[in-house]
């Protein structure tokens, strides 16, 4: 059996809305992505790293994924 390699993280946020927007951007460009949430549902607030949502993509899509996210961040800051 082949050893599975973990998907690398391309972005991390504490905002669920931002995570969903980035997921949509990546998927609209044909990049499959996975959101890994470290949130604790019992707490209605973020506690440092416990509130992080990590966006993971296949290893061969890391560079393209980061480029798409960077374009989004530039437009967001305008």
In a domain, 1, yes or no: no
Q: Which pLDDT value is given to residue 72?
A: 84
Sorted by sequence, the CB contacts under 8 Å of residue 56 that are 6+ apart come out as 6, 7, 8, 9, 10, 33, 34, 35, 36
Give the residue numbers spanning the domain of 57.
9-77
Provide the pLDDT for residue 42: 60
How does pLDDT run across 21-58, given as a tens digit for each residue? 999 999 999 999 999 987 666 665 556 666 789 999 99
Give the model's pLDDT for residue 65.
Answer: 96
4 inside domain: no
Whichever domain contains 47, its CATH number is: 3.30.70.1530
């Amino acid at each position: 059996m082949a050893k599975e390699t973990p998907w690398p993280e391309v972005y991390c946020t504490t905002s669920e809305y931002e995570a969903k927007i980035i997921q949509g951007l990546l998927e609209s460009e044909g990049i499959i992505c996975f959101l890994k949430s470290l949130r604790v549902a019992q707490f209605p607030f973020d506690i440092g790293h416990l509130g992080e949502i990590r966006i993971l993509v296949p290893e061969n899509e890391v560079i393209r994924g980061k480029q798409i996210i960077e374009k989004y961040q530039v437009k967001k800051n305008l």
